[in-house]
Chain A
Amino acid sequence: MIDYLTLTVVMIGATALLLPLLQVIKGRSENLPGYVLAVVLAASMVLLGLFTLNPSSVSWAGSLLIPDQLGGIFALVTVGVTLAVTVASFDFEKSTSNPVYYSLLAFTALGMVLLAYSEDLLMLFVAWELMSLPTYVLAGFDKKLRSNEASVKYAIIGAMSSAVILYAISLAYGLTGSTQISVVAMRFAALLSTSSQSTALASVSILLFVAGFGFKMSIVPFHMWIPDAYEGAPTTISTILAAATKKAGFIAAIRVLLAITTFYALTHSPLFTLANVFAVLAVLTMTVGNISALTQKSMTRLLAYSSIAQAGYMLIGFVAFSNAPGSAAASLGLTGTVFHVLNHAVMKGVAFLAAALVLLQLRRADLGAYDGLGKRMPITAFTLAVAFLGLAGVPPLSGFWSKLLLVLSVAYGPYGWVALVAILNSAFSLGYYAWIIKRMYIDEGESPEKVKEPIWFVVVFAVMVGLIIGIGLFPQQVINFVSGAVNSFAG
């Protein structure tokens, strides 16, 4: 019987390796590598979808990978975003070296798929690097000063976060003698009853995991690189960073941290618990993100800070989970996190792509370019408006439901204040989202002339706006699916 997952991995990997060869073909259609990658990614999505609907519970590749539904959701989301970016790149990335560009995209996608299914710390680290290294290059792909600066900054911070994760892995291995996540988690629990020194080391290891993953997940205070990198990188690549690799950070954190939490309280002190750590990080992240977003003057930076704020909402599920693993609230919270990851990938992905199109056509990224956009680029403006309302959590768009689940998961019990802060933040965030919508539809632009909206962008916009509204109106099926995946992971 064919194993769809193996087939997907081989297919994307082979495409990644072979795409640069297209460079030598003279007189090829300039978008040929893009078409190839798009077809491969679309086929991968079909295969992953089939695989996710009928998962096999046996461990795979010598218990390095666990092919469960939760991994399937993240693989689908990340490959889906990569596909959207690939399609949008047909118009955006016209340089002669674009086979390399698409090849690097394929490598990133491969890394993210493997990361989604990783069940072993070393596999996870390798997949993490496979995902990250191509994005360092892609961030500098514009070969402009800004872009190169972004690339270097991102690479240094990325290397540091990899080092932190590796250090955490080495501590975990030293303490438990295993790199398999489930074994590490169980032995950590056993440590709790033994010497205090090992307990302290285990806590350090967990906190290092939080920090290391936190860089990719854009958690405050590990977020400093985000706005600069998103702004400097080609905007399509910022889309990958915000909507795909960030989500990969989340699946890594879910796999590692939440497995550990199931067994482990950080210390014996009632104050210094993992749930408290997540609660503080969540509140800090959403608040800092939203307040900073309000003061931005460029669209990519605004989206970057909004992306940070959204990571704060996603962390709420971690709070609910680590507060009472195994409870209904934990399952609700983790469902909310995964659902919000999915929704955010669509909403933020399409918002970044819309910003990319504005940058491409108007050559401007400042917010002034958005004045009167409703008349100049009606489809783009409408897309942005829907995405923004969804990000703000306006019902009945998809973002509302995932936020509602997240808020409800912590509303009862000791973390009610996190729910309150999240709701206030959500209301506050509408301030800058509505402000942009106002600029697009009510303010007058400097010139009223229409701007061309390329067909491939329009296709991507239509699909993603359809998802935002469709999931918003009929959330039950998606929620059922996500909560089934979460329950089989956590239960």
Chain B
Amino acid sequence: MSFVLSLLIAFPLLAAPLVYAVGRMDKRMGIYLSLALSGVVLLIAGYVFWDVYASTPAIGQYALQEKYSWISVSNFGLDYFLGVDGLSSPLLFVSALLTVLVIFGSRNIIDHHQAEYYSLIFLFEGAIMGVFTSLNLILFYIFWEVVLIPMFFFIGVWGGPRRKYAALKFIIFTFAGSTIMLLGFLYFYMGMSTPTFDIPIIQTMLQAHQIPVALQYVPLLASFIGFAVKLPLVPFHTWLPDAHVEAPSPISVLLAGVLLKMGGYGFLRISIGLFPNASVQYAWVFLALGLFSMFYGAIAALLQKDMKKMIAFTSINHMGFVLFGAYATLISGNYLGIQGAIFQMFTHALAVGSLFMLTGYIQHQAGTREIPLLKGLGTTMPRTAAILVLGAAAAMGLPPFSSFLAEFMVIAAGISASAITAISILVPVITAGYFLWMIKRTVLSTPEPGHEGHDMGWPDVAAFAVYLIPLVILIVASYLILSPALPVAEFLKELGR
């Protein structure tokens, strides 16, 4: 039996106390050590990603499985069960990549309690790896909850002036959502003829039509609430702008790049993967909600003056695509929707991640994030401005960034579900509109006299290249993500028939 996935979870969790201990002795050493250790995690995640690509698991199968009995008492049993497929492997890889970049980007921004900060980052990373690899619902729930703890402290300790409010709002929203989700799981478990929490076993039962659709409605609704808060879906999104505005910018990268993916992953793996018949029946509702979120996020972003808040709403807009694409496949049978949704999660993590990190630099150097106050970045901070333009291009889905491909696939699947959804083409248009308007106001305007900016150094430019270059590579090598995603899409589509 393989142990790579356990290593992927355990390595960051064990790194956390080590980083804390070293960080307490020497701050600089702590950061270097964090970078090195997160690099190791990235290598492991890269191996997992490559393994899933090279030996694409067959339809409904999971690679690198690990299964041990955790507890069993009376008629109740619980397994420690891990596995990956084409849905989770890109997310594992992008989470590990973002963690390295976040640690690098935090070195000048986080100026107090560094040891605690970096060790919490590893706790967060370990828990995230657990969320994306768990194939047992309770194990999944455990990791899902553990993620909340470091994020609560990230916002509450290192955040902006209203950090306490934002941290509490975040924890209340997400904890309420996940409790309802757990209730749904338990209801589902109790209704099954042979109760189990193991996802692959439930899916085998689903294929044999052993789980009636009547049992699926309640857990579908419950898990919808849990995942809709995380995604976030309008109207469950109100914690997100607050959390983003108050969080330090590296943490915003983790929020948007990793935490929101938990919602998208949950919809695909659990809402569709475990309650497929009910999902198919209500697919139109989810599709409409996704579409509404896309428009709402785009229009709300148009109205923001704070650059970071604008990007936060962009996230809502982009994550709407994930839901939209996933359910478009269920309706039309067109694989592009789910493939596009997985692709969109990957590209959004990098594109919006780079923009969030950039707002941190801009605030650090220019002292403000207010778009009307930022003038003439193109002349005062040319390198920053260039990256802002490139990041915005990636976010609005401009070729050669692969975000273009992801959004195109999702919209195409939507149109094959119904021609009316062609209206979704307007969303990238609005997105392009507000990004271009923002660039016009900040980059192309004339600087106010006497306003000297400090441009970013070349190491940071290199870091931003790491965000953006994979997006360019992936438009050519899109098969790296799309080919393992295909069996997932086929499986999820067939499950609900």
* Contact status B73-A441, CB under 8 Å: no
Tell me which residues from 443 to 487 in chain A have a Cβ below 8 Å from any Cβ of chain B: 443, 475-476, 479-480, 483
Judge if A411 is at the interface, Cβ distance under 8 Å: yes
* Contact status B183-A420, CB under 8 Å: yes
Judge if A427 is at the interface, Cβ distance under 8 Å: yes
How many angstroms between the C-alpha atoms of A394 and B146 in the bound complex?
8
A342 to chain B, nearest CB (A): 14
* Contact status A479-B176, CB under 8 Å: no
Judge if B3 is at the interface, Cβ distance under 8 Å: no
* Cβ–Cβ < 8 Å partners of A199 in chain B: none
Interface size for B (C-beta < 8 A) is: 29
Choose one: A328, A416, A423; the contact of B182 (CB below 8 Å). Answer: A423
How many angstroms between the C-alpha atoms of A332 and B78 in the bound complex?
14
Count of chain A to chain B residue pairs whose CB atoms are closer than 8 Å in the complex:
69
Judge if B167 is at the interface, Cβ distance under 8 Å: yes
Choose one: B74, B164, B190; the contact of A438 (CB below 8 Å). Answer: B164
Choose one: B145, B168, B171; the contact of A395 (CB below 8 Å). Answer: B145
Comparing A53-61, A94-102, A127-135, A401-409, the segment that makes contact with chain B is A401-409
* Contact status A335-B74, CB under 8 Å: yes
Choose one: B70, B74, B175; the contact of A331 (CB below 8 Å). Answer: B74
A480 to chain B, nearest CB (A): 7
* Contact status B70-A483, CB under 8 Å: no
* Contact status B142-A396, CB under 8 Å: yes
Tell me which residues from 420 to 439 in chain B have a Cβ below 8 Å from any Cβ of chain A: none
How many angstroms between the C-alpha atoms of A407 and B163 in the bound complex?
35
With A328-B75, A332-B74, A483-B73 as known contacts, state yes or no: A427 contacts B190, CB within 8 Å. no
> Interface readout for A386-428 with B: 1 if CB under 8 Å, 0 if not?
0000000011100011001101100110001001100110110
**Closest chain A residue to B163, Cβ basis:** A442
How many angstroms between the C-alpha atoms of A317 and B261 in the bound complex?
39
Judge if B153 is at the interface, Cβ distance under 8 Å: yes
Judge if A18 is at the interface, Cβ distance under 8 Å: no
For chain A, the bracket of interface size reads 20 to 34
* Contact status A427-B175, CB under 8 Å: yes
Choose one: B69, B146, B186; the contact of A407 (CB below 8 Å). Answer: B186
* Contact status A476-B70, CB under 8 Å: yes
* Most chain A beta-carbon neighbours within 10 Å: one of B75, B76, B163: B76
With A441-B157, A442-B156 as known contacts, state yes or no: A483 contacts B74, CB within 8 Å. yes
* Contact status A442-B164, CB under 8 Å: yes
* Contact status B74-A442, CB under 8 Å: no
Tell me which residues from 344 to 367 in chain A have a Cβ below 8 Å from any Cβ of chain B: none
A327 to chain B, nearest CB (A): 9
**Closest chain B residue to A435, Cβ basis:** B168
Judge if B141 is at the interface, Cβ distance under 8 Å: yes
* Cβ–Cβ < 8 Å partners of A266 in chain B: none
* Contact status B141-A395, CB under 8 Å: yes
Judge if B478 is at the interface, Cβ distance under 8 Å: no
**Closest chain A residue to B70, Cβ basis:** A476
Judge if B208 is at the interface, Cβ distance under 8 Å: no
* Contact status B167-A438, CB under 8 Å: yes
Choose one: A394, A407, A476; the contact of B71 (CB below 8 Å). Answer: A476
How many angstroms between the C-alpha atoms of A407 and B310 in the bound complex?
44
* Contact status A405-B73, CB under 8 Å: yes
* Cβ–Cβ < 8 Å partners of A329 in chain B: 74
* Cβ–Cβ < 8 Å partners of B73 in chain A: 332, 335, 405, 479-480, 483
How many angstroms between the C-alpha atoms of A420 and B218 in the bound complex?
14
Judge if B179 is at the interface, Cβ distance under 8 Å: yes
Judge if A112 is at the interface, Cβ distance under 8 Å: no
* Cβ–Cβ < 8 Å partners of A405 in chain B: 73, 76
How many angstroms between the C-alpha atoms of A441 and B159 in the bound complex?
13
Judge if A190 is at the interface, Cβ distance under 8 Å: no
* Cβ–Cβ < 8 Å partners of A332 in chain B: 73-76
B134 to chain A, nearest CB (A): 12
Known: A401-B71, A408-B76, A442-B163. 10 other contacts (CB 8 A): A332-B73, A395-B146, A400-B142, A404-B138, A405-B76, A411-B186, A411-B190, A427-B175, A438-B156, A441-B153
The 8 sampled A-B contact pairs (Cβ below 8 Å) are A328-B75, A335-B73, A335-B74, A405-B73, A407-B186, A420-B183, A442-B156, A442-B163
- Counting from the closest, the 7 A-B pairs by CB-CB distance are A395-B142, A427-B179, A442-B156, A332-B74, A476-B71, A328-B74, A328-B75
Which of B's residues lie within 8 Å of A, judged by CB? Answer: 69-76, 138, 141-142, 145-146, 152-153, 156-157, 163-164, 167-168, 171, 175-176, 179, 182-183, 186, 190
